[in-house]
Amino acid sequence: MTVSSSNDVLTADDIAFLRRPLHGFLSVAGGPNPPQPRPVWFEPTADGSIQLFTGPDSLHVRRLRRDPRASIVVAAPATERERWISVSGPASIEAGGAHELCERLAALYWDLEDPVRANDLKVLLGEAEWVRLVIQPEQVRRYAG
């Protein structure tokens, strides 16, 4: 089994995999040190990009303002056959839609019937400003074992 690449296109199979509640590991360029991936919630969009939310003053945003290159790697849980997808390309910082994205992702990743998680979401939405990061794929790589 080998790593395959389809340049800049997420396939329907990729998107189905990426719609699962899996953590992505986001890396951005910029800075003297090697990228330092961070686990994130994310969502594939209808146009084949990847979006996530973060604080407007986060390290990711500060680095993306200097250099828009970003990548996200998403892997299947260890209990499944090995599979991963890597998407890299320029990332834009969008002011709109971050709160709605936060609500959708919280519903995917958390049980919002749980009062603790419902309150966690309320805090996320009420105490922080968010921006959306949108990665436009320039290169998609994948592996399925």
Dump pLDDT digits (tens) for 16-33: 999 999 999 999 987 667
The secondary structure of 9-60 as a DSSP string is ---HHHHHHHTSS--EEEEE--SSSPP--EEE--EE-TTS-EEEEE-TTSHH
CA–CA separation, 145 vs 143, rounded Å?
6
C-beta separation of 92 from 133 below 8 A: yes
Q: Which domains are seen in the chain, by residue range?
A: 4-95+131-144 (2.30.110.10)
pLDDT digits over 110-132, tens only?
999 999 999 999 999 987 789 99
**pTM, full prediction:** 0.90
What digits encode the pLDDT tens for the residues 55-111? 999 988 999 999 999 999 999 999 999 999 999 999 999 999 999 999 999 999 999
* Overall average pLDDT of the 50-55 stretch: 96
Q: Is 56 left (phi over 0), alpha (psi -120 to 50) or beta?
A: alpha
